[in-house]
A and B are shown apart, each in its own frame.
Chain A
Amino acid sequence: MTEYQRNNGFFHQVYHVAWADLMYLKHTFWNTLIMTIMGPILYLIAFGYGLRTGETDIGVSYVAFVIPGIMALSSLSSSFSSTSTRINVQRLYYRSFDEMMMCPLSLSAIILGKSTLGFIRGLLGCFVMYTIGLFLAPDLQLTPLAVACVILSCVTFSMLGMAAALIAKSHASMATFNSLVILPMTFLCGTFFSVDSLHPVFQAILYVLPLTHSSLTIRAACLPDNLDFPWISLIVMLVFMVAFFLLNHYLLKTRKV
């Protein structure tokens, strides 16, 4: 019998966990692409052109203002929904999540691996929206900081999706979480308008939510000539990412899944 060397290095484990989801993405790529871009494009048409035009307070067109917001929104909706839906189905219906949990994989690798699908889908949505933005709003710039903020946002929301799917007892409870948390965030967290224009009480509530900080960082990074970069929001996003990672780690370790 041939003796083979098995590779269980951390990054190999991450890839091995992500592989099945990447195959799923490959099988459903065109369907996924359409689902990923339809929402943001509709938001752009409805909010960017349907409701408002003209110049904003920061000296750029409303389309230039709203596209980074829609990118943040895409990072939330695509990353969250693809990770949460896939894990939810694998955990509650296919039971293939249990199979993975019985294999010699580190919990950190499982978290990163299972977040990869959502991360890629979020990135895809943001990329498509940014490409559209290049034609519609020349003020937008693709800075390294913008790329970093988009990546951070996608990773964070993908991990949030994982936590939601691990906590959910059923598909219905996932839908409830979507309706109560994700949908309000989508519209209120500075994606289509500046949070600063709201009553201070609402501002305080919205600044607790991660999408607000995602919108602020991505917008400022894409419009560096018009906005100061909110470093505190970047730190808040990092804190959210670490918090979601630790929550997932706790849920997996204590087998509360």
Chain B
Amino acid sequence: MLGKPNCNSINTGLVDTTSRSMSVSENNDVIVIKDLVKKYDDKVAVDGISFSVHDGELFGFLGPNGAGKTTTVRCISTLTNITSGQVLVNGIDIAKDQTEAKKYMGVIQQQISLDKDLTIRENMISHAMYHGMGKKEREERIAELSDYFGLGEYLDKPVDSLSGGWKKRAAIVCAMLHQPKVLFLDEPTTGLDINARRLLWDVVKRLNSTGTTIVLTTHYIEEAQVLCDRVGIIDHGKIIALDTPRELINRTGKMCVENMEGEKTVYRYFPHMADAQQYITDNHLEDAIMRRTSLEDVFVELTGKSVGDQR
């Protein structure tokens, strides 16, 4: 099980923004995507999406497996060449100056991507060196971040001696060493047990609270709802909705009434509790359940399928 992170302050290299709304500004976008298309032969993985991520924001991509979330992150992080469109990272067009754009990004891949032939510390040093960090700077950063994530005692152990949750933490440290402006987390909690998942959420929230812009992909509705300032719902390579979780829910209807009609459960959405109550009364739906609408309801309404559905 993952231990709790040390709650001392962490130096991400950015100004501490205690009020997130202060850092979120339309004119202060860290990532701007315009008409991004990625094709693999004839298959369109990302189909002309456009969006932006504000400085200091925790932005989530929610979608079923194969929707195009990971491909989008791979395109932005330069791991995959884009077919067409434009990606600006901190104002830098990745097509024009990829090397410069990479300096502002840290990426934690879905699969733990540590070199298993090295120790945790050697993995960290190697990452720091890739970013040109000198000995003194990298030693300070490794000590600081390892302390924050409680990794100190594991630093000189081989990668495979750690559990999945600890490996994920080590991967986060590696990605954070060079103080990136924006951190990509590609399905960070996939494969973790519920305790490790919730503790990792705390880590993500704390990183974000210190000013790091975070883009995370997930197919866990709860994760998107708990963590994200804004959520982009992606399906078949297109963004079909993008707003705050609250706004997405409000747009669908704050209250949900579900009842059985024949062999099928039917969901109806209402803007207010009184409307939902009225509907139940008018239609004599004694067995109906009235509850708050969740992001999952929004997703099902928008896509017509459950978020866990496979492509």
Q: Taking the nearest CB of chain B, how far is it from the CB of A133, in angstroms?
A: 33
Interface residues of A in 1-39 (CB under 8 A from B): 1-2, 4-8, 12-13, 15-17, 19-20, 23-24, 27-28
Q: Is the CB of A27 within 8 A of B117?
A: yes
Q: Is the CB of B130 within 8 A of A103?
A: yes
Tell me what chain B mostly uses at the interface: helix, strand, loop, or mixed. Answer: loop
Q: Is the CB of B115 within 8 A of A90?
A: yes
Q: Taking the nearest CB of chain B, how far is it from the CB of A202, in angstroms?
A: 40
Given contacts A20-B118, A255-B80, A255-B81, contact A100 B131 (CB under 8 A): no
Q: Is the CB of B113 within 8 A of A16?
A: no
Q: Is the CB of A99 within 8 A of B109?
A: yes
Q: Is the CB of A94 within 8 A of B114?
A: yes
Q: Is the CB of A94 within 8 A of B116?
A: yes
**Most chain B CB atoms below 10 A, which of A95, A103, A105, A254:** A103
Given contacts A4-B137, A255-B79, A255-B81, contact A103 B100 (CB under 8 A): no
| CB-defined contacts of B140 to chain A, threshold 8 Å | 2
Q: Does A148 contact B (CB under 8 A)?
A: no
Q: Does A98 contact B (CB under 8 A)?
A: yes
Q: Taking the nearest CB of chain B, how far is it from the CB of A57, in angstroms?
A: 47
Which single member of B78, B105, B134 contacts A5 (CB below 8 Å)? Answer: B134
Q: Does A51 contact B (CB under 8 A)?
A: no
Q: Is the CB of A102 within 8 A of B78?
A: yes
Interface residues of B in 106-151 (CB under 8 A from A): 107, 109, 111-118, 122-123, 125-127, 129-134, 136-137, 140
For chain B, which range describes its interface: under 10, 10 to 19, 20 to 34, or 35 or more residues? 35 or more
Q: Does B13 contact A (CB under 8 A)?
A: yes
Q: Is the CB of B136 within 8 A of A4?
A: yes
Q: Kindly supply a per-residue 1/0 record for chain B positions 162-192, scoring 1 wherever the CB is within 8 Å of any chain A CB and 0 otherwise.
A: 0000000000001000000000000000000
Q: Is the CB of A95 within 8 A of B113?
A: yes
Q: How many residues of A contact B (CB 8 A)?
A: 34
Query: In the complex, A7 Cα to B174 Cα: how many Å?
Result: 18
Q: Is the CB of B81 within 8 A of A102?
A: no
Q: Does B102 contact A (CB under 8 A)?
A: yes
Q: A2-B137, A20-B118, A27-B117 are in contact. List 19 more A-B contacts (CB 8 A).
A: A4-B134, A6-B134, A6-B137, A7-B134, A8-B132, A16-B126, A20-B123, A23-B118, A23-B126, A90-B115, A94-B116, A96-B123, A99-B127, A100-B130, A102-B107, A103-B130, A104-B130, A104-B132, A255-B79
Residues of A participating in the B interface, judged by any CB pair closer than 8 Å: 1-2, 4-8, 12-13, 15-17, 19-20, 23-24, 27-28, 89-90, 94-96, 98-106, 254-255
28 chain-A/chain-B pairs, Cβ below 8 angstroms: A4-B136, A6-B132, A6-B133, A6-B134, A7-B132, A7-B134, A16-B130, A16-B132, A17-B130, A19-B125, A23-B118, A23-B126, A24-B115, A24-B117, A24-B118, A96-B113, A96-B115, A98-B109, A99-B174, A100-B130, A101-B78, A103-B130, A104-B99, A104-B103, A104-B130, A105-B130, A254-B81, A255-B81
